[in-house]
Structure 1
C-alpha cells in the first residue's frame, strides 16, 4: 500500500471491468498445543500485505507483531493466493493503517530534525520508527546518518551491520539514502565498512557507474591502486562521460600512478 493511502484494500480498480488485488489479507493454520490428554488444536491467523503482479503472480509480505509490513517478500501463483488468502479490509483500516501512519510520521519528523541539525531529536524519532519496524529502511538510514553526523562510529557501525543484510536498502527507491550513507561512512574513515557495503550493493544492483566510482574511491583511500583503477574502468565502461570518474582517472595519471594508457605505474602514495 502506498504511504498514507487509506483506501479499502483489495478494491483498487486498474482498468475497466478489472480490479487489482492489493491490501491486507490473512491465512489460517492449525497448530497443536500441549501434549497427551491436555493437547488441543488452535487456529493461528497470519496477516499479509499483498499486491498483484503481472503474469498471474501475487507478492506477499508478512506483517510483524506491530502489524506493519516487514521482512522478505515472496511471489506466489495467483491461483494459490485465491485459494488460501482472505481479505481483511476492516483490520487494515482499524489496525494496520494507523500503525503504518505512526511509523511514517516518525520517519518524516526524524528526517526534518536531522536536516535542521537536531541530532538527538532525530535519533528519538528514528528509534521510534524502528521500534515499530526494525527493518524500516528509511528509519535505519536516517539513524545511521544521524550517528555519522555526530561522529559516533560505534553506533553507526551497528546500523551498518543491520543495513548490509537488508536487500530492500539497495533498491532504487532508496538510492539517494544509500549513496549518502556510503559517502558519509567513507568521510568518517570507515573504509572497510564502506567497501563491504558497496560490494554488497554490487551483488544486488545492475551496472551503476556511480556505485563503481564510489568503490574506486574506497580502494583509493585504502591504498589499493589496482582495484581503484579496476572500478574506475568499470564506471567509465558504463558511462564514458561520467565527469567524476574521468577527473579521478586524470588525477591518478598526473600523480604518476598510471601510465599514459591507464596502466598501473608504481605504488600509490597517499601521504
Structure 2
C-alpha cells in the first residue's frame, strides 16, 4: 500500500545492512541518434520499483507513463542491481507516491460504491483506475465484478480475458477477489469462462482444495460428470476432510454416477 511505502522510502537506500532493499530506483541507457556530423548521444532514464526477495535477489517492475509500478516483473541478482540501479527517494516522494495514492484512493472509492450497489458510479472509478494502470489487479477485478453485478456478460467477458492473462491476479493477496470473481461468473452461467479461469489458476496455485472443488463444480455445471469426479477426488487428496467435496461425491454416488468404481468415496 502507498501509505506503508511512504514511511519507508526516505530511509530505504541501497546499503548492506539488515534492512532489505525496497523503493524506487532508476537506470540510464545511452543511445546514438542520427548519422555522421549530426550524430548525437542521448541518455534515457527509466524508473523502477524494486524490492529484495528472501533469497537475496531483487524483484524490479517498471513504472508506466503515469509513474505507477505496472507491467511484467523480473528478478535480478543483487550484485547486478547494486551496479546498475540508483535509489530515487526524492522522486518517490514528489511524483510516485502521489500517483500511487491517487490510484489507491480511486480503487477504494470504486469498491465502496460497488458495495453500496452504485454500479455505474463504481464503473466510472474502476475505469479511471485502469486508465492509470491497465494491469492493476484490484481495479480489473472491481470492474469485472461490477459488470457481473449488472449481468453485463459481454463487458464482463472482456475483463475476464484481461484478468486471465495476469499472473498476479492469482496471488494470495488477491484470493478473496479471485474467489468472488469465479463464483459470480458461475452465477451468471459463464461456465466456459469460469472453467478456463479456474484451470488457469490451477497452473499458478499449489494444493488449494477449494480451487479444485470449484473446478469440479464447473465441470458438473457443464454436464461433464467425469471431470467433476476427477477434481472432487483431487480436492480430497489435498484435504480428505473437505466437507463440500465429500458431500458432492456422496451425491454423485446416490445418483448412480459412481457405478463400477467401488463403494469408496
What is the TM-score of this pair, normalised by structure 2?
0.93
Structure 2 residue aligned with 1:199: 199
Aligned residues: 261
Structure 2 residue aligned with 1:92: 92
Structure 2 residue aligned with 1:268: none
* Alpha-carbon spacing, 1:18–1:4, altered in 2? closer, same or farther (3 Å): closer
Q: Find the aligned partners of 2:52 and 2:41 in 1 and give their Cα distance.
A: 33
SS in 2 for 1:11: coil
* Alpha-carbon spacing, 1:262–1:249, altered in 2? closer, same or farther (3 Å): farther
Structure 1 residue aligned with 2:209: 209
Structure 1 residue aligned with 2:135: 135
Q: Find the aligned partners of 1:147 and 1:183 in 2 and give their Cα distance.
A: 14
Q: Find the aligned partners of 2:20 and 2:57 in 1 and give their Cα distance.
A: 11
Residues 212-235 of structure 1 show CA distances to partners (whole Å, capped at 9, x for unaligned) of: 000001100111111100000001
Structure 1 residue aligned with 2:165: 165
Given that 2:26 and 2:88 are in contact with CA atoms closer than 8 Å, whether structure 1 keeps it comes out as yes
Q: Find the aligned partners of 1:188 and 1:126 in 2 and give their Cα distance.
A: 21
Superposed counterparts of 1:89-238, under 5 Å: 89-238=89-238
**Structure 1 portions without partners, runs of 5+:** 264-271
Structure 2 residue aligned with 1:257: 257
Structure 1 residue aligned with 2:34: 34
Q: Find the aligned partners of 2:167 and 2:117 in 1 and give their Cα distance.
A: 29
Q: Find the aligned partners of 1:30 and 1:232 in 2 and give their Cα distance.
A: 57
Q: Find the aligned partners of 1:198 and 1:46 in 2 and give their Cα distance.
A: 36
Q: Find the aligned partners of 1:78 and 1:145 in 2 and give their Cα distance.
A: 40
Q: Find the aligned partners of 1:132 and 1:53 in 2 and give their Cα distance.
A: 27
- Whether 1:240 aligns to 2:240 is yes
What is the TM-score of this pair, normalised by structure 1?
0.91
- Comparing both structures, which one devotes a greater share of its residues to helix? 2
RMSD: 1.9
Q: 1:248 Cα shift? A: 1.2
